[in-house]
Chains A and B, each alone.
Chain A
């Protein structure tokens, strides 16, 4: 139980285009999901907290107009990287959880050329 999936697992896009990443909780309902970004050889940095039915809460320094988060249902949150640039290339990881534990998706490798 407690499986979180992400799609796609990797994506290459051209600079200036937008990319959508999906995060799904497969066997439980997640009122809250989290989106992280991880640069090579670095730790996970929380980007935003996604709450079902309400606006996401962004961490300081994260551009909310660039990283659009939608949490339309209790099992799905999406992260859209708008007008992507090479510096947005990174590993994006989502998690979903309860007050006791978070469950992580396998991550999405984004490369912007």
Chain B
């Protein structure tokens, strides 16, 4: 069975500071890993994903994540936080279910950006 652990349900950073959101996973097969962002009362928007190949993945809005197999981690970073980054962030791992990928989500991290 696959699972995801997000360390820190709330993270606060100052505007312009480094953003680091932590994600560790457990999977019995090589994982596909995802980071999603959710703004209030909205659906999920894909930030980035890792499937195969390069372990450093760049996404939208200046975010990136690095897949570290030895540490079973997929932490999300952004060099300089912007006020518009304030949102809920979910890490997810997936496995094949029929003809699609079934996602298992972490508990989420609420990012607050302080002026």
B41-A107 in contact (CB<8A): yes
Which A residues are in CB contact (< 8 Å) with B32?
100
**Stretch binding the partner chain, chosen from B14-22, B44-52, B67-75:** B44-52
| A75 CB–B CB distance under 8 Å | no
A71 to chain B, nearest CB (A): 11
A79 to chain B, nearest CB (A): 15
Of A99, A102, A106, which is within 8 A of B42 by CB? A106
**Stretch binding the partner chain, chosen from A12-20, A39-47, A80-88:** A39-47
B105-A32 in contact (CB<8A): no
Binding site for B on A (CB under 8 A): 6, 30-34, 41-44, 46, 49, 51, 91, 93, 95-102, 104-107, 109
**Stretch binding the partner chain, chosen from B23-31, B77-85, B92-100:** B92-100
> Could you tell me the distance between the alpha carbons of A33 and B49 in the complex, rounded to whole angstroms?
20
> Could you tell me the distance between the alpha carbons of A30 and B51 in the complex, rounded to whole angstroms?
20
Of A31, A46, A104, A105, which is within 8 A of B99 by CB? A31
B98-A32 in contact (CB<8A): yes
The 4 closest A-B pairs by CB, nearest first: A32-B100, A106-B43, A104-B44, A31-B99
Which B residues are in CB contact (< 8 Å) with A100?
32, 51, 101
Binding site for A on B (CB under 8 A): 32, 36, 41-46, 49, 51, 90, 94, 96-108, 110
Interface SS majority for chain B: strand
Which residue of B is nearest A6, CB measured?
B43
B112 to chain A, nearest CB (A): 13
Which A residues are in CB contact (< 8 Å) with B98?
31-32, 49, 51
> Could you tell me the distance between the alpha carbons of A44 and B105 in the complex, rounded to whole angstroms?
7
Contact sample, A vs B, 18 pairs, CB 8 Å cutoff: A6-B43, A31-B99, A32-B97, A42-B107, A43-B106, A43-B107, A46-B102, A49-B98, A93-B43, A93-B44, A95-B44, A95-B103, A98-B100, A100-B32, A101-B101, A102-B94, A102-B101, A104-B36
Which residue of A is nearest B4, CB measured?
A43
B65 to chain A, nearest CB (A): 15
Which B residues are in CB contact (< 8 Å) with A96?
100
